[in-house]
Chain A
């Protein structure tokens, strides 16, 4: 069997699994095995999605969540790459700073939230800080690794060309580390989404997290599920978009395999 056909077979199979999962959900709801207060049927969740979008409610919530996620993730990316580049390009820095990083890294971000709230209040700034703090780790660690793993021969080429320090970073080190950095950024995207929702729930900031919380409190299970589905779609779409960007940016790697 050729490769292409295999790929399509796998896709069809995974689609079938998803479809039967929804069918099962519909069946459970129709048979009223679980109260409709807690479990809406898929068609009701869908209707709520359509209604939410047509009256604009869900649009604004989705925009709020995307905004939190994007700002936090971008801040984490910029800071993570910058700090990671500084640490990764110096062996002395790696030796001195690495132990502190190992202490901070496994710290659950949820433990930081009360501290952030105490310092910054229930504000957008607090959300930005928490999301960025959580999302920075995969990016920073990947950047450190990427910078530390640059082929030494390339630095010698750069030296013999008498390239400036800045040129070495932008023309040699960063592109060489880019596969690691982009992989870190993809992992951080998920972290940023999770923390956006957490911050919206805790701080009552406008977004899907807040929508889900309010719907649950009001026993509007169809709206609750609509929000959850939308969050799932957001995670999926952003991750696919990131993969596509990676594929494009790292086209040169394809020829190496």
Chain B
């Protein structure tokens, strides 16, 4: 945690970060939620953020989305100051039930993003079908969200986000409400989708195994106020595998390190 403000400065010769937090502090209702956070996310990087509840990980994600403006410091996207949310940044919310339009079918929900992007209506059906197939929902185009299981609804939300053709995908505990089997399946699907699209990902989770399994880098936040407490590079071979990756000695070492960190923050 030494000199966090300096750590993510742009280094000549290195690619410019796609998302850069520089000395970001956020106060809400007189409380400091995040203090002096500096962080750079490389294009194409899969960054996982973990931390005890109340450490501001969701808030950090909302700052990256442009849904919040920092009290001081700045957030940049592709070298431009982030003043509002943008279509190149898609957010997968944890509460998929609230983030989908209940009066639109699966196809209609995906269509919303295409409409917002100005795609002519004649081109939409083919694209919608393709996207639904990509997330494993072929043949469900006519179903309303309420007729789908939680896992399917989350897939649908991911499809809508992919329809934005995002450069950055922000995921806020997307699988937190799903059962273990569904979660593992979706983890692998997200890895495949991200590998195919080349998108940058910031993935917030409270599941440490999930963070190591998915990420190129894992950041652990300290609470009250939120700041970076630990940063781990994950040098595990890709593609990842639910069995062999999780048995890898490096996985176990990182897991141990992360657990010790979280345990220490909770004391």
A162 interface hit (Cβ, 8 Å): yes
Are B146 and A160 interface neighbours, CB within 8 A?
no
Q: Name A160's closest neighbour in chain B (CB-CB).
A: B85
Complex contact A167–B116 (CB within 8 A): yes
Is the CB–CB distance between A160 and B65 below 8 Å?
A: yes
A252 CB–B CB distance under 8 Å: yes
Contact flags (1/0) for B84-115 with A, using CB distance below 8 Å? 11110111010100110111100000001101
Q: How far is the CA of A157 from the CA of B101 in the complex (A)?
A: 10
How many Å from the CB of B188 to the closest CB on chain A? 25
B110-127 interface with A by 8 A CB criterion = 112-113, 115-117
Q: A255–B145 Cα gap in the complex (Å)?
A: 9
Q: A153 within 8 Å of B by Cβ?
A: yes
Instruction: Evaluate whether A162 and B87 lie within 8 angstroms (CB atoms) in the complex, with A171-B112, A171-B115, A255-B147 already known.
Output: yes
Q: Is B164 an interface residue (CB 8 A)?
A: yes
Contact B146 A159 (CB under 8 A): no
Residue of B nearest to A171 (CB): B112
Check B147 against A153 for contact (C-beta < 8 Å). Answer: no
Given known pairs A160-B67, A161-B164, A162-B116, the reply for A252 and B102 (CB within 8 Å) is: yes
> Knowing A160-B65, A161-B112, A161-B116 touch, does A154 contact B101 (C-beta < 8 A)?
yes
* B251: Cβ under 8 A from any A Cβ: no
Residues of the A chain whose Cβ atoms lie less than 8 Å from the Cβ of B147: 255
B169 to chain A, nearest CB (A): 11
Give the interface size bracket for A toward B.
20 to 34
Given contacts A175-B101, A175-B103, A256-B146, contact A156 B112 (CB under 8 A): no
State the total of A-B contacts with C-beta under 8 angstroms: 67
Closest B residue to A172 by CB, please name it: B101
B102 touches A159 (CB 8 A): no
B113 and A161 contact, CB distance less than 8 A? yes
Chain A 13-54, CB-CB to B under 8 Å as 1, else 0, gives: 000000000000000000000000000000000000000000
Query: B113 contacts which chain A residues (CB < 8 A)?
Result: 161
* B144, CB-defined interface residue at 8 Å: yes
Scan A138-175; emit 1 where CB is below 8 A from any B CB, else 0: 00000000000001011011011111000100011001
Q: Is the interface of A mostly helix, strand, loop or mixed?
A: helix
Query: Within the complex, what minimum Cβ distance (angstroms) separates A146 from chain B?
Result: 13
The total of chain B residues at the interface (CB under 8 A) is 27
Cβ contact of B146, chosen from A156, A167, A178, A255, cutoff 8 A? A255
Given contacts A156-B91, A171-B112, contact A162 B101 (CB under 8 A): no
In contact, A176 and B103 (Cβ under 8 angstroms): yes
Given the complex of chains A and B, what is the CA–CA distance between A161 and B112 in angstroms? 9
The 8 A CB mask of B153-184 against A (1 = contact, 0 = none) is 00000000000100000000000000000000
Q: A77: shortest Cβ distance to chain B, in Å?
A: 19
Docked Cα-Cα span, A178 to B102, in Å, equals 12
In the assembled complex, the Cα of A71 lies from the Cα of B115 at a distance in Å of 35
Docked CA distance A172–B89 (Å): 20
- Collect the chain B residues with CB atoms within 8 Å of residue A163's CB: 116
Give complex CA distance A257, B65 in Å.
Answer: 33
Chain A contacts to B: CB under 8 angstroms: 151, 153-154, 156-157, 159-163, 167, 171-172, 175-176, 178, 252-253, 255-256
* 7 A-B pairs with C-beta separation under 8 A: A154-B99, A157-B91, A161-B117, A162-B84, A162-B86, A252-B146, A253-B102
